[in-house]
Amino acid sequence: MLKISGVLVVCWLMLAGCMPQRAQVTMLQAPEIAAAAAYKSISVARFSGQYGDSVALAMESEMINARVQDKPVYRSVSRAPEGRSLAGDNRSLASTARSQGSEAILVGEVILANVQDRRSSTTQFICDQAANPKKLVSKCVSGRNVTVPCLSRSASMQVQVRLIDAKTGNTVFSQAIAKDASSEACGNDSPADGGVLLGKAQAAVVDEVMRKIVPHERRMAISLMDPDDQIRSPANKERFAGAIKFATGGRMDRACEMLREVYEQERESVALNYDLGVCEEAAGAFWKANEHYRIADRLTNAPNTLITAALARNEQNIKKAGAMANVRSDLLKTDRIEAGAAPQTINQPGSRPFVQQPPPRPPTNISPDDLFIGQRSALVIGNAKYRRGALQNPVNDARAMTAELRKAGFQVIAVEDAGLDRLQAAIDEFGRAIKPGGAALVFYAGHGMQVGGENYLIPVDADLKRETDVQAKTLNLAAILRKLEDSQSRVNVVILDACRDNPFARSWRSAGRGGLASIDAPTGTVIAFATAPGKTAEDGAGSNGLFTTHLLRQIRIPNQKIEDVLKNTRKGVAADSRNEQIPWDSSSLTGDFYFKVSNSAMSPKPAIVAAEEAPAEAATLARRNLTVNDQQAVTHDNPPAQAASSDGGSLGGLFNSLKGLFRPID
């Protein structure tokens, strides 16, 4: 037995050395029913028949967790009231969906669910005497056939599923889906329990429904190539090999960064171009992946099965992404990553912690007009001292954010522990402070809630006893978005650290499960959440919340577009929370926005500077900001006369009049 084991180990090692390395990557899966991909909210009715409740709950759970490019597929998944099953007509079912704010409703019936046993027997040959029992292979001198009893157990489930459009009442999808699971054992062994097999059959039914109607992602093993002879530098070859180790260890983000570093010096490698194609494919940049795969194909001297398979697979990815873009472009906003950016792969539990990456390479020839010099306005709100559910960190978060924004050239209206009247006064003043064509930013830390699909920010004096109190005693986020739209600003940034579990709505029927509802950002706006819609974020044990800590860290790094700031914040929070908290954002920006830009990236005009790096007299002027005091009046930190300049005191005028005093960030 020991000899056999040793030989098998040697054979396995020899085969393993010839086999390509494999990495787990996530791929986009567009649904077969294209019309079903358009829905952003859905209701799930109670399925009729035996195990109907179990199937419906499993469907609901999968839809809640369905994600594409780190974004939830559905902004809301609702459970239909009791009594709404497949027996209901389309019209009444569609009405039920509309009453829940859903665009479609899924109904079903378990037609069949059973477990069957089948007994049989098999014949096994038993050798009683071998010619030379000490040898690895020896002829059997004498033996006998023995009949052994066997038991085969199979479970079957068939479910009739129907998807109905809430607006028209039309059936979008209808199919009876049947799945089986089986187990067999002979002799003294026993097959799997019938309940376990039914569970497997149910899971297969749910997976099939997801494949038919729900956009989602699927993890799959993709083969990678080891460094080839086209890598000339020994150091680059060693780094390439290290990247493969990271990839097979579940760190595709780090692996792809290393491969891109090698690619800057080594571009004629089949293996490197193929592996970079896998990186781009995993990130959803299917067109860029196609470029690398085709380069690898041109460089090789003979057909390569890995490259051929990758080209065919990625062609399907491009088709799926194109079909998705027609109905759900919001799920594909990050499908094209820029050269040099890491894929948005989140650390898995047990992986190495997130490490701050070096600042990105500076963009070139950034015009001061794109930096909104003298046109940066911000409203920062921190609410902590609630009558119910007081919080620890929002005021600290707001103060830290205010300081960082002022360093980045923003005029800030700062509000702490504000009641409803004070919040509304601050918003009105903020609306007047926003410059047409400028950049406007809103940061809110405190309690928030979703009711009926709408998001509300909660003042510290709110006394919410009933759902009907919400509209009158809280601030609808839509009011802030309308203020931004009316201001004619060119870029709007809304940051909401308001996803903490709130004590107000736990017993209300139409309140969400927790956290905030998904929002489609208006044109020219990016909206960032501390965690995914419908989820809650912890307040944090330190002086700042987890989300704000990572966000501030990214804002301080120059040359990052707002998209990269949010992406790197998401990666850091996900790593530190072991994927319990995943920040989320919705963007409809049509231009670029940078918090800070280094001098080397600038056109001739000066860049945004950090106030503490400027001479004292210039810093005094640069810190001219707005705050709302306890009397709800708006005051300047410095009298207007102190900040007088040729263009009315804007930062643009300061730069023109004090050119020699400012030293841009490097």
Say if strands 439-445 and 491-497 run parallel, antiparallel, or are unpaired: parallel
Measured CA to CA in angstroms, residue 358 lies from 282, 554, 558 at distances of: 22, 11, 10
Residues 577-591, mean pLDDT to the nearest whole number: 83
Token pair listed for 109 = 């019936």
Domain 222-332, classified CATH 3.40.50.300, yes or no? no
CA quadruple 29, 32, 35, 40: dihedral sign: negative
Residues 289-303, mean pLDDT to the nearest whole number: 88
Residue 180 in contact with residue 159, Cβ under 8 Å?
Answer: no
CATH 3.40.50.10610 positions along the chain are 27-117+150-217
pLDDT tier at 340, thresholds 50, 70, 90: very low
What is the CATH code for 27-117+150-217?
Answer: 3.40.50.10610
Confidence (pLDDT) at 601? 55
Residues 6+ apart with CB under 8 A from 391: 383, 384, 446, 447, 500, 539
**Mean predicted lDDT score pLDDT of the chain:** 78
Measured CA to CA in angstroms, residue 357 lies from 92, 255, 265, 354, 599 at distances of: 54, 13, 20, 9, 20
Residues 296-316, mean pLDDT to the nearest whole number: 90
Residue 284 in contact with residue 334, Cβ under 8 Å?
Answer: yes
pLDDT tier at 591, thresholds 50, 70, 90: confident
The maximal CA–CA distance of the chain, rounded, in angstroms, is 111
CATH 3.40.50.1460 positions along the chain are 373-661
Token pair listed for 282 = 């995993």
What is the CATH code for 373-661?
Answer: 3.40.50.1460
Tens digit of pLDDT for each residue in 72-119? 899 899 988 765 444 568 898 999 999 999 999 999 999 999 999 999
Residues counted in the chain: 666
Nearest partner of 498 among 610, 617, 584, judged by Cα: 584
pLDDT tier at 307, thresholds 50, 70, 90: very high
- For the chain, percent of residues with pLDDT exceeding 70: 75
**Reported pTM:** 0.45
Tens digit of pLDDT for each residue in 403-451? 999 999 899 999 999 999 889 888 988 988 898 889 999 999 998 888 8
